């Protein structure tokens, strides 16, 4: 079935046909025809952000929390360039987005027209794919293809650039039909690799599951299958920052996050294991530390939908290209059909070893005196909210992000939104807005540092306008804490520009926007203040004044191996040599 | 420092020494990439090579299937086996890329390049140039009293050899197409 309509109308029609209900955007000259169509319909909610970067992060938060594709709409030129950070963020973290940008009319492209930018050129390296649509005839198909590309295989952001004359012109609209796209990533794993993996599972003495964002990307079924496999085999499991919640933090086999700021037991188990089963993680440098000392004695298995992730950094012994859910289903089938075997005696010894590592109690700290320690603040937030099944946490970037990952537990996937690969300060607040749009009744908290939070604070206007009761839990150390920590450890305590000077009064700031502000500095008042935040039906800025020079431990210093982890202040003297300090 | 042998101007000094020590030997590979003939596709391929610090020795592109809108890009690159694998995998991720073939590992292939040489000279040099051209099966496609333009096809090595011989005689300028390559055999 096809009907004649304008390009602008096609955009809206295609969104409806793709099941989109929410669009984050900001208008401008080059997208006015589309905004006009948005105005004349009720199927799609448009959320007016306060900066295009906010639109993209909000769409990311929405996508991660709902499992759907996030959608944003921006104008040409500055609208599109403001979107670049968000697009890069989504590309690094494999978040499916479709972003529409307006463009100057086709006959003016290349003339340095008003608000012209080479948007497809600028966004080519920061999108999975992008299109400049020069012909209204091709628009509807391109949009359907955009959704297909964004969501299939390894997900990622795509951009559709639409010149204004293409929005005005009319053509036939085609509904999303059976896709004719040649883009069909392999989802089913090769049976040989799967059988090899099962054989390795049967004989391993010191196995570990190392899971990542790919499990979340693969959807809820993947998490379900993962739980079945972990509980069935009885193997320990650790996860990257991006994969938290795929296996429940309350589960018996959960070790905690691994990596640079991961738990001692997780990193030690990674280092000493004899079988490492990587499921949807990408051997990021926050995980591997020193490459040539990375888990020296293990057989490495890697399940990943993107062939380029395999053997990129670490050599893999068994590579299985495919989607996590599809592969795990087959792994379980084969493992069961061969009699559900594992080396029980070996595993018992392995767990005993792990129990020994756990006694180090690497996250221990003491809350004493009249200053709130940031770990304590996060732990209290966790204690007072973890019973809420509908709790979603986003974070900014820095120490607070790591403390949230360490001290909070996630029992379900899609409950944890954080900027991992790009580490974008300013991500968390707009992301929390996106999450709340996707789950209007849920409890959405952004664990923030004051410096990161200020980077996209204009979105407070958005939160207030749409009555989004997002809670901004700011651990205010009046420092660019993570930078300060590195300067302390690597640059002789010369704190070059790592202060948050001239901070606003956050309570007054909240009030100025019509939101609620709470400030707390006394540990004894903390619980009541958190309850007050939770009880308030509306956006809250929670200014939690914390210890200013706290460091985040454990920490694997740059250029060190997993078993060279620092556990606390006493161990930090002169540990990072000059070679380590060139690393980031 | 790295097994990648990244050329100057790229990112070998960034952050972690991510380059694993799989194998240090550099190899030369010829890749055939079948792509959708759409705007920007060449920019994507080239952007991939520059963005990730891979080498390009030569690159040719032209439409090979008009009705199917397919172009064929032939890339000659160098790198360790691990890097070559990364390059093919990374090329395969580009959405408009239909197929990637590493002709060097997939069996025997034929490679040809076309080049034009302008050689100037008088007297004995002219005679010598024509004699060498004959040996290399180069054709004269333009001549004046003081110059020739030769056309030569062959492997890149053959063209290099021809250039080495022509240089002392009076090589003024040359233009090369880069390598086109096909797998041998019926398929
Ligand atoms: C300040 C800071 C500190 C950090 N410290 C740590 C730390 O201590 N520990 C830590 O873990 N991280 C840390 N990170 C995050 C880190 O930088 C990386 O973002 C993270 O480790 C990558 O997670 P991942 O390997 O799960 O990969 P992702 O980026 O989530 O990639 C997912 C992988 O799965 C694949 N995939 C996607 N979809 C599918 C599918 N359907 N089926 C199969 N495969 C799929 C992809 O191809 C990719 O290879 C930190 C970040 C910051 C900003
Ligand atoms: C956009 C951006 N700029 C700079 C950085 C580098 N950076 C990483 S963490 C950090 C400090 C963050 O401070 P804050 O938000 O207060 O969090 P804290 O570490 O104190 O918890 C900086 C500057 C970054 N990650 N992102």
Going by alpha carbons, the residue nearest to atom 16 of ligand 1 is A420
A481 CB within 6 A, ligand 1: no
CB atoms within 10 A of CB A490: 18
Q: Do B15 and A584 touch (CB under 8 A)?
A: yes
Show the tokens assigned to A75: 């104008």
CB-based contact (8 Å) between A558 and chain B?
yes
Mean pLDDT of B77-81: 96
- What's the confidence (pLDDT) of residue A574? 59
CB-based contacts of A430, cutoff 8 Å, min separation 6: A49, A53, A54, A55, A56, A57, A58, A61, A456, A459, A462
Q: Superfamily assignment of B110-183 in CATH?
A: ACT-like. Chain A, domain 2 (3.30.70.1150)
CATH of domain A3-178: 3.40.50.970
- What's the confidence (pLDDT) of residue A181? 86
- B47 to chain A: which residues are within 8 Å by CB? 124-125
- What's the confidence (pLDDT) of residue A575? 61
Q: Do B20 and A313 touch (CB under 8 A)?
A: yes
CB-based contact (8 Å) between A582 and chain B?
yes
Q: How far apart are CA A208 and CA A238, in angstroms?
A: 7
Interface test with B, best of A147, A158, A291, A556 (most B CBs within 10 A): A291
Name the packing angle between helices A220-233 and A324-337 (round to 10°).
Answer: 30
CB-based contacts of A492, cutoff 8 Å, min separation 6: none
- Bridge-based pairing state of the strands A516-520 and A540-545: parallel
Q: Is A115 an active-site residue?
A: yes
User: Does A3-178 match A374-545 in CATH topology?
Assistant: yes
- What's the confidence (pLDDT) of residue B9? 30
Q: Is A482 an active-site residue?
A: yes
Q: How far apart are CA A150 and CA A70, in angstroms?
A: 9
Going by alpha carbons, the residue nearest to atom 14 of ligand 1 is A420
Q: Is A114 an active-site residue?
A: yes
Mean pLDDT of A437-452: 98
A47 CB within 6 A, ligand 1: no
In 3D space, the residue among A293, A306, A297, A338 whose CA is nearest the CA of residue A208 turns out to be A297
- What's the confidence (pLDDT) of residue B1? 28
Mean pLDDT of A445-473: 98
Lowest mean pLDDT among A119-128, A249-258, B3-12, B140-149: B3-12
Q: How far is the CA of A497 from the centre of ligand 2 (A)?
A: 12
The answer to whether the beta carbons of residues A534 and A558 sit under 8 Å apart is no
In angstroms, what separates the C-alpha of B35 from chain A's closest C-alpha?
A: 11
- B16 to chain A: which residues are within 8 Å by CB? 285, 288, 291, 558-559, 583-584
Residue in A9, A68, A128, A164 annotated catalytic:
A164
- What's the confidence (pLDDT) of residue A558? 78
Q: How far is the CA of B44 from the centre of ligand 2 (A)?
A: 32
- What's the confidence (pLDDT) of residue A341? 98
- Has residue A178 got a pLDDT over 80? no
- What's the confidence (pLDDT) of residue A560? 84
The answer to whether the beta carbons of residues A198 and A335 sit under 8 Å apart is yes
Instruction: Give pLDDT tens digits for B127-181.
Output: 999 999 999 999 999 999 999 999 999 999 999 999 999 999 999 999 999 999 9
CATH architecture classification, B27-106: 2-Layer Sandwich (3.30)
Mean pLDDT of A544-566: 91
- What's the confidence (pLDDT) of residue A10? 98
- Has residue B90 got a pLDDT over 90? yes
User: Does B27-106 match B110-183 in CATH topology?
Assistant: yes
Mean pLDDT of A11-33: 98
A240 CB within 6 A, ligand 1: yes
A155 falls in which pLDDT band (50, 70, 90)? Answer: very high
- Has residue B91 got a pLDDT over 60? yes
Q: What's the fold here for domain A374-545?
A: Rossmann fold (3.40.50)
CB-based contact (8 Å) between A110 and chain B?
no
Q: Is A386 an active-site residue?
A: no
Q: How far is the CA of A583 from the centre of ligand 2 (A)?
A: 17
Which residue from A67, A154, A482 has its CB within 8 A of the most atoms of ligand 1, so it is best to mutate?
A154
- What's the confidence (pLDDT) of residue B2? 31
- Has residue A581 got a pLDDT over 50? yes
Q: Do A129 and B96 touch (CB under 8 A)?
A: yes
- What's the confidence (pLDDT) of residue B6? 31
Of chain A, the percentage scoring pLDDT greater than 70 comes to 97
Q: Which ligand has the minimum distance to the alpha carbon of residue A551?
A: 2
The full DSSP string for A473-522 is: EEEE-SB-HHHHHHHHHHSTT--TT-B--S---HHHHHHHHT-EEEEE--
- What's the confidence (pLDDT) of residue A577? 64
| H helix or E strand, kind and range, residue B173 | strand B171-176
Q: Which DSSP category does A108 fall into? A: G
- What's the confidence (pLDDT) of residue A177? 80
Q: Return mean pLDDT, chain A.
A: 96
Return the domain boundaries, chain A: 3-178, 191-358, 374-545
Q: Which DSSP category does A297 fall into? A: T
A485 CB within 6 A, ligand 1: no
Mean pLDDT of A528-557: 97
pTM summary value: 0.95
Instruction: Give pLDDT tens digits for A64-90.
Output: 999 999 999 999 999 999 999 999 999
CB-based contact (8 Å) between A184 and chain B?
no
- What's the confidence (pLDDT) of residue A562? 83
Q: What is the ipTM of this complex?
A: 0.92
Return the domain boundaries, chain B: 27-106, 110-183
Which residue from A395, A452, A483 has its CB within 8 A of the most atoms of ligand 2, so it is best to mutate?
A452
Show the tokens assigned to A346: 């070996």
Instruction: Give pLDDT tens digits for B6-56.
Output: 333 333 333 333 444 467 899 999 999 999 999 999 999 999 999 999 999
- What's the confidence (pLDDT) of residue A583? 72
Does domain A191-358 fall under CATH 2.60.120.560? My reply is no
CB-based contacts of A551, cutoff 8 Å, min separation 6: A399, A485, A488, A489, A569, A572
Show the tokens assigned to A235: 């193997």
């Amino acid at each position: 079935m096809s009907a004649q309509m304008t390009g602008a109308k096609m955009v809206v029609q295609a969104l409806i046909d793709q099941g989109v209900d929410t669009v984050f955007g900001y208008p401008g000259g080059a997208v006015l025809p589309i905004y006009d169509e948005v105005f004349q319909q009720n199927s799609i909610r448009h959320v007016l952000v306060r900066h295009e970067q906010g639109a993209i992060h909000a769409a990311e938060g929405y996508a991660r929390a709902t499992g759907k594709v996030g959608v944003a709409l921006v104008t040409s030129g500055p609208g599109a360039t403001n979107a670049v950070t968000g697009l890069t963020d989504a590309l690094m973290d494999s978040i499916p987005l479709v972003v529409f940008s307006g463009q100057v009319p086709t006959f003016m492209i290349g003339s340095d027209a008003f608000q012209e930018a080479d948007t497809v050129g600028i966004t080519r390296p920061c999108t999975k794919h992008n299109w400049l649509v020069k012909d209204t005839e091709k628009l509807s198909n391109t949009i359907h293809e955009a959704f297909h590309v964004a969501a299939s295989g390894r997900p990622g952001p795509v951009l559709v650039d639409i010149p204004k004359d293409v929005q005005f012109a009319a053509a036939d609209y085609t509904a999303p039909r059976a896709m004719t796209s040649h883009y069909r990533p392999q989802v089913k794993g090769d049976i040989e690799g799967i059988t090899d993996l099962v054989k390795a599972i049967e004989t391993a003495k010191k196995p570990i599951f190392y899971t990542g964002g790919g499990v979340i990307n693969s959807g809820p079924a993947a998490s379900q299958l993962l739980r079945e496999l972990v509980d069935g085999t009885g193997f320990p499991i650790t996860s990257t920052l991006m994969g938290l919640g795929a296996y429940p933090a309350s589960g018996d086999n959960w070790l905690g996050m691994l990596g640079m700021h991961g738990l001692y037991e997780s990193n030690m188990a990674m280092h000493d294991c004899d079988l490492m089963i990587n499921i949807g993680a990408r051997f990021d440098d926050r995980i591997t530390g020193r490459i040539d000392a990375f888990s020296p004695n293990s057989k490495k298995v890697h399940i990943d939908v993107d062939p380029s992730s395999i053997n990129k950094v670490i050599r893999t012994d068994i590579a299985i290209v495919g989607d996590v859910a599809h592969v795990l289903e087959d792994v379980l089938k084969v493992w069961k059909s061969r009699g559900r075997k594992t080396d029980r005696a070996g595993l018992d010894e392995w767990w005993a070893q792990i129990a020994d590592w756990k006694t180090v109690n690497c996250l221990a700290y003491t809350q004493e005196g009249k200053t709130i320690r940031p770990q304590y603040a996060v732990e209290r937030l966790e204690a007072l909210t973890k019973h809420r099944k509908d709790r979603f946490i986003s974070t900014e970037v820095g120490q607070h992000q790591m403390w949230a990952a360490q001290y909070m537990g996630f029992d379900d996937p899609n409950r944890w939104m954080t900027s991992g690969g790009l580490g974008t300060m300013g991500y968390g607040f707009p992301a929390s807005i996106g999450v709340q749009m996707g789950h209007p009744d849920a409890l959405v908290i952004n664990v923030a540092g004051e410096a990161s939070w200020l980077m996209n604070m204009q979105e407070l206007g958005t939160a207030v306008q749409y009555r989004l009761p997002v809670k901004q839990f700011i651990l205010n150390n009046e420092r660019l804490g993570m930078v300060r920590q590195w300067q302390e450890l690597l640059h002789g305590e010369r704190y070059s520009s790592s202060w948050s000077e001239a901070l606003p009064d956050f309570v007054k700031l909240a009030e100025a926007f019509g939101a609620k502000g709470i400030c707390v500095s006394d540990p004894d008042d903390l619980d009541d203040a958190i309850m007050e935040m939770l009880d308030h039906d509306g956006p809250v800025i929670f200014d939690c004044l914390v210890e200013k020079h706290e460091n985040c431990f454990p920490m694997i210093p740059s250029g060190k191996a997993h078993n060279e982890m620092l556990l606390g202040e006493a161990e930090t003297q002169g540990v990072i040599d000059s070679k380590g300090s060139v690393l980031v | 420092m790295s097994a990648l042998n990244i050329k100057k101007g790229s990112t070998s000094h960034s952050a972690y020494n991510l380059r694993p020590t799989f194998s240090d030997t550099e190899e030369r590979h010829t890749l055939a990439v079948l792509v959708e003939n759409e705007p920007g596709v060449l920019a994507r391929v080239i952007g991939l090579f520059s963005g990730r610090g891979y080498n390009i020795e030569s690159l040719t592109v032209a439409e090979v299937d008009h009705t199917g809108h397919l172009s064929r890009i032939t890339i000659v690159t160098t790198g360790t086996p691990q890097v070559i694998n990364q390059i093919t995998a990374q090329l395969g991720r580009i959405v408009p890329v239909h197929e990637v073939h590493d002709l060097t590992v997939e069996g025997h292939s034929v490679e040809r390049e076309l080049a034009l040489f302008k050689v100037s000279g008088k007297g004995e040099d002219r005679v010598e140039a024509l004699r060498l051209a004959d040996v290399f099966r180069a054709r004269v496609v333009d001549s004046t009293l003081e110059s020739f333009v030769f056309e030569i096809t062959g492997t890149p090595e053959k063209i290099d050899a021809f250039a080495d011989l022509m240089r002392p005689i009076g090589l003024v300028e040359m233009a090369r197409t880069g390598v086109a390559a096909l797998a041998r055999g019926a398929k």
